[in-house]
Chains A and B, each alone.
Chain A
């Protein structure tokens, strides 16, 4: 049970170099999942590359039409950021539902996304907000829609030497409303059995944009496009809400595990999508 060698490079170039030199190395962000996986022998990296000493990765910057979130920004930092709370309420709600205060003080947005759990708290909100992942590596930067970043449970689109550097989120248009709902058995300190984020833009009594994202019901967080199509272009009536919720339930692909059955997850998708859209219809969201 050899424990990995810990390294904390002080620049991105050194990070790339170390990663390339050690193909079995893993990047250490908050460590709340990775350290545990190593201790339980579920992950056996040769090296741990801590990003904590790389400058600039833990900043939240507003720039014109978008916000830039460094991958090492802690969840608690995100949860308390006034810009996030004001402009991205679904993301703020999602951050607050993650783990405990202790976990949020250690865990990072980059870790939550790169861990690529199907139930990742932040993913559905970021999907509906059309966030972009900025990936950086030895050959330069590339941008990827967040939806394309997830490849499967525990797998994301990172080539050897690459890391997730930042998340970009465009400020939503005026009149846009977002919401995040998580269902778990305990009120806190629990994984999502399912989670749902929605984003809606209404113009002249008609839904102009609708994005619905679902977590923990497929190998990767997914958009519920059938549900979205039912809503876009029409006034949001209770009939449409019911239809959209049913569509979302039918298009998700949940599994049964010890936490819940596939049927229950599907049912809860219907309930949560319905709740999210209904609260909007009532002016809540």
Chain B
């Protein structure tokens, strides 16, 4: 492997100093002169007709500067590019508890809150449908008139011949799994600052997708994209939630009406009831296997909950339906997915994007198959693991697969065999479980116009580079990885790179942080820009030194002459000379990366990502058979990341993903009552793991498969870090106590009930 100067090193993100001292400015920290506080009036009912809204009292209250409802908006239906089932504020109906009805901007938060209580809304309550299976029944109330049967979307894919394959199988196993609606629980709630001036709007947004916001909001507000400027300050976590949302739009409409800057910050409760939590799913899986564990056929049916409007439900369900088919060599496949509307909070992206849900189902069932066939679950995975060079059933080209290595390293490091077979005695039983995952680094069909990334490098008279990209660092350290890639590509020190925050007025159209795409897409775009910049530097240096450019190189900020090692000038000398001989123009290079992916056809055949990351996670648990409590006591996560770019920040990505996965497995769940009210909209009763609830050591193991399509060989890590965690924990619980629980989360009550069932 080549030796790099910056790639692979433990580089500290420069902004960490700002964050440690309280100086980092998040959107919610922005304060503009004359800024107003906005508050949103939300529906208390899951489904109701709005007869009228009387805002007159609120509007007259001293300190109130604007009150807005649907009537103050262009009124056009819009969406995130999938189904246009959004309006800014409810038109004639509310469809979930928390649905946006009106908003107020006032001089301070107290006044805005009080003004909300003065708005009178007359509702006529309608029957509501909360449960995803009930929503499909013929007698179920309709959430949207345009969607008979409450069907928002259907996905179907078929490969090979599953009937024939099942008849050839030595062993057939099937089961149904339930994955819950869980909340991303970023520490900075959704919030926005909007300032409408001169017919244009600036939006400071806590977002993963700045350019996409501009696109969607221009349509919603019926104004040219050019008239919206999105700036992304530091983001206090996203984990998938921070895409298009109504908080941004409410702030924009209020600012337009009041002609003043408006800030809206969700309370934690608002964020629970009106954020965009994970798509809940009911998944039936049937597998046919040969005696040795080879998977011959897989049949799946999924019912997924879209909530009351479409955020990203369709691609999330599609992902659940077919992404995992590139984890193992499976060629006989039939999958059907139904996405249903319900009168519940609209669901959206959450680290794993549907693949996490399906991974829980498939990896639990495969584990069961292994045990029932008397095989080592790790061996069954090894037999089926995709290998470098494979083309999967859906046409995905796996240039590098480190899956086999992941399984081997994780089982070795965790002492898998001995722990798995150890006798399970006593009141507190120990168990160990394993699960694998695949994922993507980019998702070609997500935004149909394009995938890829672009970057602008601007080098001034000091020889230092200003890197402008349109992706979105939301706290995962993306900007540091980008600066490392730029420094390595240009041959200048890391400290000489400054990464600009995203501002759609200047930045390229970046798709943003999702689909584990940042490092690969953004990184490749940056490499392309750097290659051009480097060539510009070398060309200019060649003229200055009277040497051919191909005899020059840049090393640690100096231009060296390859055959005369002691002759050199600095990059700064070259770029200064360039600037002063070009009327003050900085050296600017624009580079772009368009991946060689293939948009899936109408049969879902294509190749959606340039590279595919893989992972194998092993959980060790203790199950208290008296209380039913599960404690994860050890965790090994082996991930094929292609190449480690930052050895300081990469393990943290894995720790965080696993921690969230453990919460999903054991404690987190949004609980509804029959009227559609979420019963636990706060951190007290929605339990995310705390410092005492997680294993003391996560062992992150990295496999460097050096993918030729990744920047310096790298693949993404964001979502794989969480995808297999819940299944690994559930499989460990099985190993400990001999019962399987297919409904997340694995609460003490379910564990005890399962144990009772086993003993009966």
Contact = CB atoms under 8 A, between A and B. Distances in A.
**Do any CB atoms of chain A lie under 8 A from CB atoms of chain B in the complex?**
yes
Given A1-B113, A271-B626, A186 B689 contact: yes
B627 interface: yes
A73 interface: no
Interface in B599-658: 626-629
Given A186-B687, A187-B693, A268-B627, A258 B113 contact: no
A3 B109 CA distance: 13
B690 A1 contact: no
Contacts of B747: 185
A3 B679 CA distance: 26
A260 B626 contact: no
B685 interface: yes
B680 interface: yes
A267 interface: yes
Interface stretch (A8-16, A106-114, A161-169, A188-196): A188-196
B664 to A, nearest CB: 14
B680 A258 contact: yes
Which of B117, B626, B683, B747 counts the most A-chain CB atoms under 10 A from its CB? B626
B106 to A, nearest CB: 13
A279 interface: no
Given A185-B667, A271-B627, A258 B685 contact: yes
Nearest to B629: A185
B573 interface: no
A80 interface: no
Which of A190, A191, A261 counts the most B-chain CB atoms under 10 A from its CB? A190
Contacts of B692: 186-188
A188 B752 contact: no
A26 interface: no
Interface in A218-276: 258-261, 264, 267-268, 271
Main secondary structure of the interface of A (DSSP, over half): loop
A183 interface: yes
B113 A260 contact: no
B294 to A, nearest CB: 40
Nearest to B114: A1
Contacts of B687: 185-186, 190
Interface residues of A, number: 18
A242 to B, nearest CB: 13
Which of B679, B689, B690 counts the most A-chain CB atoms under 10 A from its CB? B690
A76 B211 CA distance: 49
A187 B632 CA distance: 12
A187 B113 contact: no
A258 B685 CA distance: 8
Interface string B673-686: 00000011001110
B108 interface: no
A186 B749 contact: no
B671 interface: yes
Interface string B325-368: 00000000000000000000000000000000000000000000
B748 interface: yes
A188 B690 contact: yes
Nearest to B663: A186
Interface in A36-86: none
Interface in B685-717: 685, 687, 689-690, 692-693
Which of A183, A260, A267 counts the most B-chain CB atoms under 10 A from its CB? A267
Given A1-B117, A186-B687, A258 B667 contact: no
B636 to A, nearest CB: 22
A186 B685 CA distance: 10
Contacts of A189: 683-684, 690
Interface in B305-323: none
A67 B690 CA distance: 35
Contacts of A268: 627
Contacts of A264: 628, 748-749, 752
Given A264-B748, A264-B752, A271-B626, A187 B690 contact: yes
B684 A191 contact: yes
A42 to B, nearest CB: 12
A190 B747 CA distance: 15
B671 A186 contact: no
A188 B690 CA distance: 8
A189 B748 CA distance: 18
A258 B671 contact: yes
A186 B626 contact: no
Contacts of B627: 183, 268, 271
Given A1-B114, A267-B752, A271-B626, A186 B680 contact: no
A75 B114 CA distance: 35
B194 to A, nearest CB: 25
Nearest to A190: B687
B671 A261 contact: no
Contacts of B110: 1, 3
A115 to B, nearest CB: 14
Nearest to A40: B269
Given A1-B113, A191-B684, A271-B626, A261 B689 contact: no
A264 B627 CA distance: 9
A86 to B, nearest CB: 26
Nearest to A271: B626
Given A187-B690, A187-B693, A267-B752, A259 B685 contact: yes
Contacts of A259: 685
Contacts of B684: 189-191
A260 B671 CA distance: 12
Given A258-B680, A268-B627, A185 B748 contact: yes
Contacts of B671: 258
A3 B113 CA distance: 12
A188 B692 CA distance: 7
Contacts of A271: 626-627
B40 to A, nearest CB: 16
B677 to A, nearest CB: 11
Interface string A148-188: 00000000000000000000000000000000000101111
Contacts of B683: 189
B715 to A, nearest CB: 34
A259 B628 CA distance: 14
B749 A261 contact: yes
A264 B753 CA distance: 10
Contacts of A187: 690, 692-693
Nearest to A270: B626
Contacts of A258: 671, 679-680, 685
A264 B690 CA distance: 23
Contacts of B113: 1
A183 B748 CA distance: 11
A1 B114 CA distance: 6
A260 B627 CA distance: 12
A186 B630 CA distance: 11
B114 A186 contact: no
A103 to B, nearest CB: 11
A22 to B, nearest CB: 22
A263 B689 CA distance: 25
Interface string B236-260: 0000000000000000000000000
A271 B113 CA distance: 47
A185 B689 CA distance: 10
A186 B748 contact: no
A118 B102 CA distance: 39
B357 to A, nearest CB: 23
13 contacts: A185-B748, A186-B687, A186-B693, A187-B692, A188-B690, A188-B692, A189-B683, A190-B684, A191-B684, A259-B685, A264-B748, A264-B749, A271-B627
| 4 closest Cβ pairs, A-B complex | A187-B692, A258-B679, A264-B749, A271-B626
Given A186-B689, A186-B693, A261-B749, 17 more contacts: A1-B114, A3-B110, A185-B629, A185-B667, A185-B687, A185-B747, A185-B748, A186-B667, A188-B690, A188-B692, A190-B684, A190-B687, A191-B684, A258-B671, A258-B679, A258-B685, A264-B628
Interface of B: 110, 113-114, 117, 626-629, 667, 671, 679-680, 683-685, 687, 689-690, 692-693, 747-749, 752
